[in-house]
Amino acid sequence: MLKKRKGPLVLFYIFLLLLSFRVTAQGSQYYINELFDANPPPQVLKEGPVVRIIQPGVEKPMANEEQFEPGSDLGLELELELELELEAEQPEPSQQPQPKSLGKVALTFDDGPDGRYTGRILDILKTEDVPATFFVVGEAVERYPETLKRIFNEGHLIANHSRTHADFALLDNEDILTTELIPTSRAVEKITGYFPLIMRPPYGSLRQDSVQFVRESGWKIVRWSLDTFDWDSTQNSPEQILNRIQTLHHRGAIILMHCNGPATTRVLPDLIKMLRDLGYEFVRVNEL
């Protein structure tokens, strides 16, 4: 009798366990996917680009099943006719199928500038003609002003990532502004003449009351929708990052990367090529 009762009880406990995981996952997802208010929740597209294949022409049978030897007059005449037919079937260069456009994506780089990897990232972006957004840390801005100036001069968007990379969830709202955001934007303005009002909280961490306070103070909050995990040495090989992009890419993606480590520079050229082949256009976050 006791054995018969165990089955339903075990199923009941498993149901409660799964329900608790679901609630936790939904709660954590809110932080990560909050972008601009105007953006709908991202839709993950797993399809690749549609490629049209031009089938080769098929030789027509000769009248009366007449055979010919290669190189004979009749053979040369039919070979020439076949070549002309095949050429006529080929579209003009302007008619060649183009990759299907999947919309815009934004590459974003946190935690810079630094004295080693940021310059390499800028070299790659310049070679590939890709605009990006750099969420900079105030202390690093003061340490590497020339690198920050290069970011600005090469047409990338500079945004605010705090002064000390503190966890904003642990700070008072006034301190978030007066000790972290405003000093960083003033440091950027001193070097470039531009005062950023777009911010990303370190770790994506921001209390809901702080979200409202920061917005009412005139700032736009941008987190991300696709984390490359280039910061995590346990899962940031080029193959792992590219597989992640291949699986999770979507229209309007804000892609999180960092500009102070080697994993990013190793994978960046292939990542750009993959997204281009999928049909995406690269923009700054304020252009999404």
Give mean pLDDT, residues 130-137: 98
DSSP letters of 43-96? -----------PPPP-PPPPGGG----TTSHHHHHHHHHHHHHHHHHSPPGGGS
Give mean pLDDT, residues 103-130: 97
Flag whether 112 is in a domain: yes
Flag whether 156 is in a domain: yes
245 and 271 Cβ atoms separated by less than 8 Å = yes
The CA-based dihedral angle spanning residues 260, 264, 265, 269, taken in that order and rounded to the nearest 10 degrees: -150
The pLDDT of residue 224 is above 90: yes
Neighbours of 7 (CB within 10 A): 9
Flag whether 215 is in a domain: yes
The pLDDT of residue 77 is above 60: no
Flag whether 224 is in a domain: yes
Q: How far apart are CA 193 and CA 152, in angstroms?
A: 10
Catalytic residue ranges: 110, 258
The pLDDT of residue 179 is above 70: yes
Residue numbers of the domain that contains 170: 103-287
What pLDDT shows up at residue 65? 43
State whether the Cα torsion 138-142-143-146 is positive or negative. Answer: positive
What pLDDT shows up at residue 23? 38
The pLDDT of residue 33 is above 80: no
Flag whether 179 is in a domain: yes
Flag whether 245 is in a domain: yes
The pLDDT of residue 162 is above 80: yes
Flag whether 271 is in a domain: yes
The pLDDT of residue 87 is above 70: no
Residue-wise burial string across 36-46, b where 16 or more C-beta atoms lie within 10 A, e elsewhere: eeeeeebeeee
Q: How far apart are CA 111 and CA 260, in angstroms?
A: 7
- The more confident residue out of 202 and 16 is 202
CATH of the domain at 251: 3.20.20.370
Flag whether 78 is in a domain: no
Q: Hey, which bits of 103-216 come out as E strands?
A: 103-112, 133-136, 157-160, 198-199
Domain count, the chain: 1
Q: How far apart are CA 21 and CA 42, in angstroms?
A: 22
- The more confident residue out of 48 and 176 is 176
Give the three-state DSSP class for 259: coil
Mean pLDDT score of the chain, rounded to an integer? Answer: 79
Structure tokens at 270: 């292939």
